[in-house]
Chains A and B, each alone.
Chain A
Amino acid sequence: MSTVSATLKTAPAGNASALLLVLKLRTFIALIAVTLFFALMAPNFVSVANAVIISKHVAINAILAIGMTYVILTGGIDLSVGSIVGLTGMVAGGLLVHGIPLPMLGVIVYPNVIEVVLISLLVGTAIGAINGLLVTKLGVAPFIATLGTLYVARGAALLLSGGATFSNLVGRPELENQGFPVIGSGTVLGVPVSVIILIIMALVAAYVAQRTPFGRKVYAVGGNERAAALSGVRVDRVKIAVYMISGFCAAVVGLIVSSQLVASHPASGNTFELNAIAAAVLGGTSLSGGRGLIGGTIIGAFVIGVLSDGLVMMGVSEFWQMVIKGLVIIAAVVLDQLQRRLAANTRQG
């Protein structure tokens, strides 16, 4: 008969379950509410052009948040994704502009765009693997391990160019490495390529999480690691895999960002990890692991994206934007707790 539940208890059962449904769908409702709000308040908010811009912004955060969700589902966290975005962008930029010099042969090899993409993805995934190995084999807490790689990867990105930007990443015909900007700026039937990448990745990620043995194991590790291990789940492998997924997602974003700007800057991706965590949490992912859905995360990323762009269009100052974003995140977590208590209550009677 604690105070919070006492007030809930007085509501008839029908109301309680309706309230529960509203709370369950809260992120989705929030998305609709935020969109309606800006549609009314901000001129030109509802337009195809704006929808394209917002979805391109959202794609970047949402792709990172997909990887982040996997990591959080196992009870971990990945703070290094922002730095991986910067580093993989620099790797791609460096390969396009300077190629791979092979001094003993006296030649410089210029990989084509496909190869550049594959190498960058490999770098991101490898950093993820290092995170995973640190967490599992060396027993470093995920927060610390990925905080370390956050610094290392950012430093490496700066070292690659001595802090300078690789610009004009269009490639050269004689080197046969043109076409890189398509990733960030191309469209298919009017839909930006980056948004198509997001849609594919989200579908695959949701499928893997819900319908494959691997996904099941991810949830199991987050729910009760020991039980998972005793059920024959190779916990270490699952954990290494989720950090690799997160590193891969970050590399995809690194490519998209540098392609969009047609330049790679070593500082790009700074603090992206916070937005990714925010999207996952807004979408209902529990930071203690074992609970959350890819779909929720995507909606969470849209809430953040619509909110940011809408506030900009309304001319709200950047400072207020931060305050509002913070409040929304706190509100999300409070509602999450409320939902859980209510669910527990209806369960007990």
Chain B
Amino acid sequence: MSGIVLSARNITKAFPGTVALQDVDFDVHAGAVNVLIGENGAGKSTLMKILAGVERPTLGSLTMEGEPVSFSSIRDAAGKGIGIVFQELNLCPNLSVTENIFLGRDITRAGFHIDRAAQKRRAAELVAKLEHDIDPDALVGDLMIGEQQIVEIAKALAEDARVLIMDEPTSALSASEVEVLFKVIGELKRAGVAIIYISHRLEELIRIGDHFTVLRDGRLAASAPRSEVSIPWIIEKMLGAGEVVAKRPPAAPPGPPLLEVQNLTLPRRGQGLAVDDVSVSFRPGEITAIYGLLGAGRTELFESLYGLRSGATGSVRLGGEELAGRSVNRRMKAGLLLVPEDRQRDGLLQNLSVGGNLGIASMGRFTRFFSISRAAETPLLSQVISQLHIKTAGPDAPITSLSGGNQQKVVIGKSLLTQPRVLLLDEPSRGIDIGAKAEVFSTMRDLADQGLAIVYTTSDLKETHAVADRILVMAYGRITADLRAEEASDEALVRASTHKIDEPELA
């Protein structure tokens, strides 16, 4: 059952200005989870796009079950049994869940009449298989990002592929949803499907991987079966050296409360509350993690604080100044800043360069009279690029030429340039590799030491401990725990994250 279905030989892919892959070999074993690991920009997604027919290799060949193949398009590859869940969500917000799942391969009668009932039934089945209760008729644009990722996965499952590529499918999923996905992956494996799995969450990989391949800077760094692999091995192959991230203590004790929130409440569509009477304060110099499961209300809390949710009530004071009722722009000027979760959609301007994106929120800092001063801009941009280790040809490179993780760093860099006093980071480590993660966390500590209040959300327990001084847990729109990092055990956090207070069933 563990023959090699698909193999790539001597793959090289050159883009104008960069060589993304160089002479890479990759074998895909049937009935197994084939893990692909590497830092941001290592070339993982590029290799997958070649396997799925989205990109064509500059050099090299593919063979499928012994026969040489070349895929002229994604349809071509799909026709030969290759399915893919892309790293960036690729859904049409104006279509329903069902319509997205069947886009490009509708179930029809007589070849032209869409069988809506059959599609809806099948969509509901797929969503149920992933143990979700997303309404098949809901518009995708109305779903939270984690739910969209479920739809994206359901879409790939609908194809009955023989080779299923998953490029960071869990980046927006909570621990329990990851469990469900793993169960589904197990079933697919038993059915003989070859799974290619990419993730930056190393524990996940160790748990489900059967064959491991590591890429470093576009080259094959190592490949080994599960029995020879351990986390230190992966880190060593990925980075070229064993690197440990040490937590840095704060330089000074935190100051008096800077951001004070009182009785913040946000109703949810239908009934119930997305944010339920939250009162909390954040202090400069302190890093606070908000841990919780998908749908716990963390994003809604941030968006309410930032003025994006018009239904929110309650008081938000920053340095004594009342912000409730103020526009986002006013809140930004007061020093509050949100780095959104869906950075692809909310954070980046696809038509601008890396530098244009970095500078967009802080143009005032380098505008002289009426024009943008390159002389004032360039050093600031270069500084952020090197501070966050953004892998790019320079500030003038198009933003679309960056790998997924590097694009995320640009969004974080953009907010740093605005010199905020309170920084809200929604899932700052989503989709970035451990090296970059360490850099982002270290930057967060630097910023806190400079007197900022830093608040970030995460669904990853280890990340709550990695940098936070204080850990809040949210569940069902409420804060169910508020602990010093030293006293927060994993067990306490998990218990608090599933803690229901009187409120019955919030959908």
Contact = CB atoms under 8 A, between A and B. Distances in A.
- The dominant DSSP class at the A interface is helix
Interface string A321-349: 00000000000000000000000011111
Given A290-B94, A349-B311, A220 B103 contact: yes
B358 to A, nearest CB: 23
Interface stretch (B29-37, B267-275, B444-452): B267-275
Question: Which of A2, A5, A227, A230 lies at the interface centre, i.e. has the most chain B CB atoms within 10 A of its CB?
Answer: A227
Contacts of B89: 227
Contact of B103 (A1, A9, A211, A231): A231
Interface string B109-152: 00011101000000000000000000000000010000000000
A13 to B, nearest CB: 9
A349 B114 contact: no
Contact of A233 (B93, B104, B274, B325): B104
Interface in A211-244: 211-214, 216-217, 219-220, 222-224, 226-234
A49 interface: no
Given A2-B327, A232-B74, A348 B104 contact: no
Nearest to A233: B104
Interface string B78-105: 1000000010011111110001101111
Nearest to A290: B94
A6 interface: yes
B192 to A, nearest CB: 24
Contacts of A24: none
A349 B274 contact: yes
Interface in A1-28: 1-2, 5-6, 9
B325 A1 contact: yes
Q: Chain B: interface residue count, which band?
A: 35 or more
A345 B311 CA distance: 7
A270 B103 CA distance: 38
Contacts of A219: 92, 94-95, 99
B413 to A, nearest CB: 24
B310 A217 contact: no
B83 to A, nearest CB: 11
Nearest to B326: A1
Nearest to B141: A223
Contacts of B102: 216
Given A1-B325, A220-B103, A232-B105, A227 B310 contact: no
B54 A230 contact: yes
Given A223-B92, A349-B269, A217 B104 contact: yes
B69 to A, nearest CB: 17
Q: Which one of A9, A212, A220, A348 has the greatest number of beta carbons of chain B within 10 Å?
A: A348
A5 B274 CA distance: 18
Given A212-B112, A213-B112, A217-B103, A346 B269 contact: yes
Interface in B418-472: none
Contacts of A212: 106, 108, 112-114
Nearest to B267: A349
Contacts of A346: 269
A59 B473 CA distance: 62
Contact of B99 (A1, A216, A233): A216
Contacts of B116: 211
A345 B310 contact: yes
Contacts of B38: none
A231 B152 CA distance: 11
A235 B113 CA distance: 20
B81 to A, nearest CB: 13
Among A213, A290, A345, residue most surrounded by chain B Cβ atoms (within 10 Å)? A213
B103 to A, nearest CB: 4
A314 B360 CA distance: 54
B309 interface: yes
A203 B86 CA distance: 37
Nearest to B93: A223
A1 B269 contact: no
Contacts of B483: none
B266 interface: yes
A222 B99 CA distance: 14
B103 A291 contact: no
B285 interface: no
B62 interface: no
Contacts of A230: 54, 74, 86, 90
Contacts of A217: 103-104
B75 interface: yes
Interface string B169-206: 00000000000000000000000000000000000000
A171 B139 CA distance: 54
B405 interface: no
A220 B92 contact: yes
A232 B54 CA distance: 10
B239 interface: no
Nearest to B88: A226
A234 B74 CA distance: 10
A20 B326 CA distance: 26
A216 to B, nearest CB: 6
B307 A227 contact: no
B106 A9 contact: no
B307 A1 contact: yes
A224 B88 CA distance: 13
A219 B92 CA distance: 9
Contact of A227 (B91, B267, B269, B324): B91
Nearest to B113: A211
Contacts of A232: 73-75, 78, 104-105
Interface of B: 54, 73-75, 78, 86, 89-95, 99-100, 102-106, 108, 112-114, 116, 142, 155, 266-269, 273-274, 307, 309-312, 324-327
15 contacts: A9-B310, A213-B104, A214-B112, A216-B95, A216-B114, A217-B104, A224-B94, A229-B74, A231-B90, A233-B104, A234-B75, A348-B267, A348-B268, A348-B274, A348-B311
Given A219-B94, A227-B92, A290-B94, 9 more contacts: A2-B327, A216-B99, A216-B106, A219-B92, A230-B74, A231-B103, A290-B93, A348-B274, A348-B311
A-B residue pairs, 4 tightest by C-beta: A349-B267, A223-B92, A223-B94, A232-B104
